[in-house]
Every structure is written in C-alpha cells, then in structure tokens.
C-alpha cells in the first residue's frame, strides 16, 4: 500500500482538540506524524483544499439485517451506505434471523463482514435467548466470539430481575449493555407519539412514559450493579432529565440521540407518510429541543443513526401495519451539521465529536481519532455543499428515508478505511 498525503484540509480531531488547516500522513494503513522527503514524492496525494478532514465517523447503532433478511440490507450493502455517509466503523444490532444469541451466528456475521464489508463492522449479541426476554443468552460465549456489547434492541427486556442478572454478568465480562427503552404493556398497538397529533390523526398513541419508566429502571439497575448501560435512541424530554440527574450522581450510563429525532416531530406525520414511522416515535418540539440541549451539555453522549432498512413493499402499507424504522447512514452528517451546527450553533468540532470519538469511547472501539499510530480512517467532507438526496440512488438496498427528495447541506467527498479509499466522488471502491 503506497503512503498517502492528504494536504490543505481543515483537520478536525476532537479527541486531540485539533482544529487547524494542515495535512495528514498515512503509512501502512496508520497515521504517522510525517513522511520523509522521499516518501512525500512517492506518496499518493489528495488535495483536500476547502474540505474538512476528520476521523472516520462511528455509528454504534445500525441494522444490517444479515443473516436472514438480506432482501432489506446485507452487511455488504449496509457497509457501502456507511462509507458513502463518511462512516468507517459501525456496530450491528443482533435482531437478525436467527438472532445473534450464540457464538455461531456471531461468527457468521464476522465472516460475512470479512468477505464483503468495506468498513469496520462490529457485532453485538443478544441479552436473552431468541430475544424473547425469558432467559439469558450465553454472555461469556458471545464475548469470546467477539461481540462489543449485548442488547435485545428492537425488543426491551421487560423483566427487571432478568435485566439485573444481565447487568451483573455483563459487568463480569466488561461488556456494555445497550437497551431499547420501552414498556411493552404501555405501547401495545401504538404507532405514534401520544398527544394532539395522534388524536387528530386517529392513530393509537405511544406515551413518553413508556420510555421514561424503563430509562429510570435501567439507571437504578446500573447504579446497583455498577454495570455500564447505554440507553438507545432517547426521544423524551423526561428521559433526558432522568439521565441528567443520574449522571450528576455518577451513574455509569451513556445515551444516544438519532438524527431523525433531532430533526423531526410528530407534526411530520400529518400526511400519514410511513417513512416517518419509527420506534421510538417522533415526539413534540419540546422533546426535540430537549434532545439538542442534552447533546449540548453532555447528558446525551453521541449520535447513533438506528439505520433500519425496510423494503418499499413493507413500508407501502396502511400506517398501522407498516414497520418502524428509517435509513440514516448516508444523511446523518448533513442532518447533524444542519440541526446542531447551523441552527443550534454547535461548534463544528463538537458536532464531529458526537459522531466520532464519543461513540468510539462508549463501545471501546479503536476508532474516532487522527492520532499517530491509530488506524487511518478518515472522512473528507465539504460542509457547505448543497445536494439533493435521492434514496433510490443510495447504496442501501432499501429506500425508506424521510429525507428523500430534500436538499441537504454538507456532503461527504471521500472516505478512507485503514488508509485505503473506499468511497470517492459518489462511487464505492472495492
């Protein structure tokens, strides 16, 4: 692999508090402080004038649907969508068919990633067997198979006692427990946020308390066991406040927000567009603002896309029957730049940190930095380029994006993984 010299970029590395125009040097797939004069002459050069160079983005919440649901997405196609969005490391959820509740399925995922992924793919394992919430999965075996966390994402463990035991075992194996916070009894048949809009549309409402109760439960269990709990896709302003108070006490909890919960509210469902149907549901403007406030003060730690592909036939149904979930990987950076950067006045380095070093730290991934010696994962993007997003032309197998047809600002130009260009000028290099 030839050495690489990226020049004239605005280099932003939040992990090192670096923000200055300069260059990056890569040798043998890793960052180095510099190259010799001879190496510079021979190096492959990328003139990044006018672009931002930051660590490859990190997403700790994606659904790549393999094994068993590759008509929606595969590890190969999902990784290409990730690369197109500037992501170089992703953490896959285990709600596949069959679920990743054993070492064999985890090995299948690792093998599929080794064969076809263009970015780093990290698997998670289930908390419970079959994600049924009845008995614990073999957590030690899952850890030995290479999972970076355990979660029943898509389902929430309803038994407090079972969740307590899961946290105790997870702490023994030094694994984070990621939880989809939802009281199932309060959301049976619900399809959108409970409030004025659900009443107006005649749709079954989903109370925010269903999330808040489980968030509080997880905080209590984390504090009693000492285990690390990561709270997924927070949507409620009341949950944000519960997490804020827990962190003030020193609780070992982290939390994420999604681009769609930061950008949209339940008002967007006025036309019954199923591309705005997700779990948890879009909530109110007050909730949306609370999420932004939580990211600003550190109550919420990072952005996770919850990239959840579904086929057009699945989404093109009556609202009650369409599945929850939206695409997120190819649009996440532009949405974050708009909602947090331009509209909410976050510094660019802070926005990038929420997409790089913070999620990497939560899952203990070797990613999220441009430091010498680190794996040379890089995202080069133009923060000011306007572009029209066409979900039909994207790299995902599915098309279920609420941003389809919208003009976004901030575009990924080049993505490098371990010093190799995997995406450039709208094309995947494989």
The pLDDT of residue 118 is above 80 = yes
Burial class (CB in 10 A: 0-12, 13-18, 19+), 187: buried
Structure tokens at 218: 């997880």
Band (pLDDT 50/70/90 cuts) for residue 253 is: very high
pLDDT tens track for 317-358: 999 999 999 999 999 999 999 999 999 999 999 999 999 999
Tell me what the mean pLDDT of segment 289-310 comes to: 98
Positive or negative: CA dihedral 419, 415, 82, 174: positive
Q: Hey, which residues are catalytic here?
A: 306
- The CB-side HSE value for 196 (13 A sphere, CA atoms) comes to 5
Mean predicted lDDT score pLDDT of the chain: 98
DSSP code of residue 136: B
What pLDDT is attached to residue 81? 98
% of the chain residues with pLDDT over 70: 100
The domain locations on the chain are 4-52+375-388+405-428, 55-363
Could you confirm whether domain 55-363 is CATH 3.30.420.40?
A: no
On whether the CB atoms of residues 149 and 176 are closer than 8 A, the answer is: yes
Tell me what the mean pLDDT of segment 86-90 comes to: 98
Band (pLDDT 50/70/90 cuts) for residue 430 is: confident
DSSP code of residue 68: T
pLDDT tens track for 187-239: 999 999 999 999 999 999 999 999 999 999 999 999 999 999 999 999 999 99
Band (pLDDT 50/70/90 cuts) for residue 2 is: confident
pLDDT tens track for 169-187: 999 999 999 999 999 999 9
% of the chain residues with pLDDT over 90: 99
Architecture per CATH, 4-52+375-388+405-428 = Roll (2.30)
Q: What is the pTM of this model?
A: 0.97
For tokens 């939580």, name the residue.
294
* CA–CA distance, 320 with 176 (Å, rounded to integer): 34
């Amino acid at each position: 692999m030839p050495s690489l010299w990226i020049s004239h970029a605005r280099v932003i590395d939040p992990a090192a508090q670096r923000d200055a125009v300069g260059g990056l040097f890569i040798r043998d797939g890793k960052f180095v402080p510099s190259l010799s004069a001879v190496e510079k002459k021979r190096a492959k050069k990328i003139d990044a004038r006018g672009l931002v160079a930051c660590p490859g983005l990190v997403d700790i919440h994606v659904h790549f649907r393999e094994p068993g649901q590759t008509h929606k997405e595969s590890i190969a196609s999902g990784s290409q969508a990730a690369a197109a969005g500037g992501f170089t490391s992703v953490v896959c959820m285990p709600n596949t068919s069959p679920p990743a509740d054993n070492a064999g399925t985890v090995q299948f995922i690792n093998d599929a990633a080794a064969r076809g992924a263009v970015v780093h793919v990290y698997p998670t394992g289930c908390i419970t067997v079959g994600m049924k919430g009845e008995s614990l999965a073999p957590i030690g075996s899952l850890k030995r198979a290479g999972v970076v966390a355990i979660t029943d994402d898509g389902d929430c463990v309803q038994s407090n006692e079972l969740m307590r035991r899961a946290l105790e075992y997870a702490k023994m194996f030094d694994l984070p427990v990621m939880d989809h916070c939802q009281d199932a009894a309060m959301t049976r048949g619900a399809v959108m946020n409970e409030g004025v809009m659900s009443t107006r549309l005649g749709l079954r409402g989903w109370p925010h308390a269903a999330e808040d109760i489980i968030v509080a439960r997880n905080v209590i269990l984390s504090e009693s066991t000492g285990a690390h709990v990561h709270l997924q896709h927070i949507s409620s302003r009341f949950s944000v406040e519960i997490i804020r108070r827990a962190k003030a006490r020193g609780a070992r909890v982290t939390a994420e927000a999604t681009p769609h919960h930061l950008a949209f509210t339940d008002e967007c469902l006025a036309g019954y567009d199923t591309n705005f149907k997700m779990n948890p549901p879009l909530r109110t403007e007050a909730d949306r603002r609370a999420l932004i406030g939580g990211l600003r003060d550190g109550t919420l730690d990072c952005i996770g896309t919850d990239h959840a592909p579904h086929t057009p036939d699945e989404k093109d149904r009556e609202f009650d029957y369409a599945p929850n979930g939206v695409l997120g990987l190819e649009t996440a950076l532009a949405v974050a730049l708009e909602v947090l950067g331009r509209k909410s006045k976050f510094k660019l380095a802070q926005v990038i940190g929420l997409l790089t070093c913070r999620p990497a730290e939560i899952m203990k991934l070797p990613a999220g930095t441009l430091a010498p010696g680190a794996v040379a994962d890089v995202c080069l993007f133009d923060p000011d380029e306007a572009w029209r997003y066409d979900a039909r032309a994207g790299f995902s197998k599915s098309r279920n994006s609420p941003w389809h047809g919208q003009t976004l600002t901030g575009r990924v130009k080049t993505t490098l993984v371990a010093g190799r260009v995997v995406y450039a000028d709208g094309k995947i290099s494989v």
